[in-house]
Amino acid sequence: MTEKRGAEWPTIAMLVATYAVWAVGTLIWQHSALLAIVLTGIAVTQFSSLQHEVLHGHPFENQWLNEALVFPALALCVPYLRFKDSHLIHHYDPNLTDPYDDPESNYMDPKVWEKTSRPMQKLLRFNNTLLGRVLIGPLLGTYSFVRADMALIWAGDARVRLAWALNLIGGGMVLAWLVWAGMPVWAYLIAVYLGLALLKIRTFMEHRAHEAFRARTVIVESRGPLSYLFLNNNFHVVHHTHPAVAWYKLPGLYAAKRAYYQRRNEAYVFRSYAEIFAKYLLKAKDPVPHPIWPVKKSEPADMS
């Protein structure tokens, strides 16, 4: 018999605080436009991190209740149901970084890359620097995502159609609030872009091409503000090893078995996000075409 767990109060408290910051950000537009956009953007990032917690089964045992808590579409163009479905597929570690089977891969099939136009190749190379990922990553990612989803809807995919229908309702809730709060839609769109850009800092380093799938996932040892904004997903190999563990337990798990996790991912480790900015702000972390395609799906013996 499975032991019942109680409500996860740190996650509930973070959700309440995030909605509060978002509400304040949208309400203070008349007093400080810049502060309104910054606060709202930060709240969108935090909310996206909380949606990630929810799709992994937090903070309650009742998943319907969990998903009701994050129903408003604060990010507007990222339907929660699509995020959930694609992210759970992403958690099949043997497919990590696969251009076709990993929905969150930033790599391309080398054969597709060869047929890509030179201007687009230059744009994608810039996108593989941290500066590019933050500046144009949200635009490129959203365009590719929406375009692919519209093709699926046109082809009759009922699940994708449902996801966007629910997102329209959640987006309508947001727009109704903005009308009441007095924040212009164009300003809110800037805030959303800021929120997605901040998320790109986290996802930029999360995975690398490597023949051993256990070594494809990063550790960033930071415990600073970005770590809280990302709900400790900088300890990403710990999350992939224990995807059902709540965000506030990840640092403790890492500290208890630090050497093990660093052996497991073959020292794909950074001390902080400052180190990542210094190293990759203007330098590409990876080539765009997958460097070891096709990825080997076999895994060496466990090193525990």
pLDDT surpassing 60 at residue 88: yes
pLDDT surpassing 80 at residue 130: yes
Residue 303: the pLDDT is 45
Residue 1: the pLDDT is 44
pLDDT surpassing 90 at residue 235: yes
* Spatial separation of the C-alpha atoms in residues 92 and 213, rounded to whole Å: 10
Residue 297: the pLDDT is 56
Residue 6: the pLDDT is 82
Q: Which helix (H) or strand (E) holds 269?
A: strand 269-270
Report, in angstroms and rounded to the nearest whole number, the Rg of the chain calculated over CA atoms. Answer: 19
Per-residue pLDDT tens for 10-26? Answer: 999 999 999 999 999 99
Measured CA to CA in angstroms, residue 280 lies from 127, 163, 216, 274, 283 at distances of 11, 35, 18, 10, 5
- Residue 3's pLDDT band, with cuts at 50, 70 and 90, is low
* Spatial separation of the C-alpha atoms in residues 288 and 126, rounded to whole Å: 10
Question: Could you tell me the pTM of the whole model?
Answer: 0.94
**In this structure, which amino acid lies at residue 166?**
L
Q: What is the mean pLDDT of residues 283-300?
A: 80
- Are 78 and 85 spatial neighbours (Cβ–Cβ below 8 Å)? no
Measured CA to CA in angstroms, residue 130 lies from 18, 179, 203, 269 at distances of 26, 35, 10, 17
Residue 299: the pLDDT is 58
Q: What is the mean pLDDT of residues 277-301?
A: 83
Q: What is the mean pLDDT of residues 57-77?
A: 96
| Residues of the chain above pLDDT 70, percent | 95
Average pLDDT, the chain: 94
**In this structure, which amino acid lies at residue 111?**
K
Q: What is the mean pLDDT of residues 135-164?
A: 96
Collect all residues with Cβ–Cβ distance below 8 Å to 93 and sequence separation of at least 6.
213, 214, 216, 217, 240
* Spatial separation of the C-alpha atoms in residues 297 and 95, rounded to whole Å: 7
